A and B are shown apart, each in its own frame.
Chain A
Amino acid sequence: DAKTTQPNSMESNEEEPVHLPCNHSTISGTDYIHWYRQLPSQGPEYVIHGLTSNVNNRMASLAIAEDRKSSTLILHRATLRDAAVYYCILRDVIGTQGGSEKLVFGKGMKLTVNP
């Protein structure tokens, strides 16, 4: 399974943008980049995913480096509700064996939002 590397933790201030980095230097051409987050005492929640181009949705933006070896999740205005553990995950949806259904979570990165 392709691996990702994230900082253990980050802090941000409420209503300010926050950039969450992820390195995935061994990414393959068929790996999609997924971001999930997990609020305390809840199951993970999908945030966004992408392959090559930058992506935007109502929750966040995903900026993908041109060589795809890194990506950045951008929360445009952090709120207290964004305090969570964020997981950057690679998933091979095509692959040589038809892809894999599983999400391989690392330890993630804990985001603290200060009021």
Chain B
Amino acid sequence: DTGVSQDPRHKITKRGQNVTFRCDPISEHNRLYWYRQTLGQGPEFLTYFQNEAQLEKSRLLSDRFSAERPKGSFSTLEIQRTEQGDSAMYLCASRRQGYNEQFFGPGTRLTVL
């Protein structure tokens, strides 16, 4: 069990640029989640995949955000035309079917200048 991994761990970008983050869930975990966390707050749910299907999306996920999980394994989260308000920690989690526990990765910290 190597845990959930996320890449990159840190990203600094200029406003208006596009960024893409990657999440590798624990193998055999068919459920994958993205959350966003700003300083002093708890994580906020963004979206959820069951295998390759995106089944639940938060209204926080604006048109500039898109997430994919093409083969039901790793997932990517892209933010287009970044804004300073997008600065946050982006967390990925995965869960095995039949189990309650979500395993979180270390997160990608995004700073938009």
Contact = CB atoms under 8 A, between A and B. Distances in A.
A19 to B, nearest CB: 21
B98 to A, nearest CB: 11
B25 interface: no
Size class of the B contact interface (CB-based, 8 Å)? 20 to 34
B91 interface: yes
Contacts of A91: 100
A34 B107 CA distance: 21
Size class of the A contact interface (CB-based, 8 Å)? 20 to 34
Interface stretch (B14-22, B43-51, B62-70, B72-80): B43-51
B102 interface: yes
A93 interface: yes
A93 B41 contact: no
Interface in B61-113: 91, 93, 100-107
A43 B40 CA distance: 14
Interface stretch (A9-17, A23-31, A66-74, A105-113): A105-113
Interface of A: 32, 34, 42-46, 49, 85, 87, 91, 93, 100-108
